[in-house]
Amino acid sequence: MAVATAKLVKEGRLSLDKTLAEYFPELAGRIENSERITLRMMLQHRSGIPNYVDHPDYWTKPPESRQETLEYALDLPADFEPGEDYGYSNTNYMLIEDLIDKTLGYPHQQYIREKILNPLGLKNTFGSLSEVNIDDVMSGYYVGVDEDFKTKETGLMIATAEDVGKFIRALNDGSVFNKGEQEIYSSIYVYEHTGLLVGYQSIAKYHKDIDAVIIQFNNTTNFDGYEWNLAEIVYKRILKIVRKKKKS
């Protein structure tokens, strides 16, 4: 989404300094400080908009629709003043998706496929569950809940580890960008990512010293962070093994 935004900014179709209230007047009364939150702040997770996954009901009663997901972040006090702190919030990027849809007049998934996925040859990256055979999707579990979350439509993208690896490499070597786009991207976001939602978590990073991308997907999560801490320990061990093999 950050790459797509950088491309649209370069095209002059979006402005990093325009505010949330200007882009979504209907949300002005439901998101605190919306008149001061810029697109740049949302991209950098410096908006102060509450993260919908932090809502106490999110993990035990996962939302069934996009609107229900957004409702978990509306009408709440801001986490901090715009631009004054950093706080990872999935709500930022959910709103950016809606903004891109609104700007283009068609789904952002189509733009991403045309501008990013197809040029990079990423044939196993999809915009929703409806595009894949559910039997090919990895199951996802939440500790203490007897349910497989793989059938829950989250609105997020789905990809194989191989495709994620190719994207991370293209992000770092610059091949995903056209002229002038990488400078914009570098001013708004990082070149690696970690992710977490009900049933799934991942770490995706490029390690320059060994010229390697390491992707780790896990299909079990919990609320107290134990599974995440365990994943980080495992990732560090994997990195250590790969470094040893690369340098031997």
Tell me how far apart the alpha carbons of residues 1 and 212 are, in angstroms, rounded to a whole number. Answer: 23
Q: How far is residue 106 from each of residues 102, 103, 110, 201, measured CA to CA in Å?
A: 7, 8, 7, 29
> For the stretch 190-221, what's the b/e string if a residue is b when 16 or more beta carbons lie within 10 angstroms of its beta carbon?
eeeeeebbbbbbbbbbbeeeeebbbbbbbbbb
Domain-wise residue ranges, the chain: 2-247
DSSP 3-state of 215: strand
Tell me how far apart the alpha carbons of residues 129 and 158 are, in angstroms, rounded to a whole number. Answer: 7
Q: Are 185 and 125 in contact (CB under 8 A)?
A: no
pLDDT in tens, the chain (248 residues): 999 999 999 999 999 999 999 999 999 999 999 999 999 999 999 999 999 988 888 877 878 888 899 999 999 999 999 999 999 999 999 999 999 999 999 999 999 999 999 999 999 999 888 899 999 999 999 898 888 999 887 778 899 999 999 999 999 999 999 999 999 999 999 999 998 888 999 999 999 999 999 999 999 998 788 899 999 999 999 999 999 998 87
Output the 3-class SS for 95-120.
Answer: HHHHHHHHHHCCCHHHHHHHHHHHHH
pTM for the whole structure: 0.90
CA atoms in the 13 A half-sphere facing the CB of 202: 19
Tell me how far apart the alpha carbons of residues 166 and 120 are, in angstroms, rounded to a whole number. Answer: 8
Domain 2-247, CATH number (from 3.40.710.10, 3.20.10.10, 3.60.40.10, 3.40.50.880): 3.40.710.10
- As a whole number of Å, the CA-based R_g of the chain is 18
DSSP strand pairing (158-159 vs 193-197): unpaired
Listed in sequence order, the residues at least 6 apart from 141 whose beta carbon sits closer than 8 Å to its beta carbon are 147, 148, 149, 199, 219, 220, 221
Listed in sequence order, the residues at least 6 apart from 24 whose beta carbon sits closer than 8 Å to its beta carbon are 34, 95, 98, 99
CA atoms in the 13 A half-sphere facing the CB of 37: 32
Tell me how far apart the 2 most distant CA atoms of the chain are, in Å: 59
DSSP strand pairing (212-218 vs 220-221): unpaired
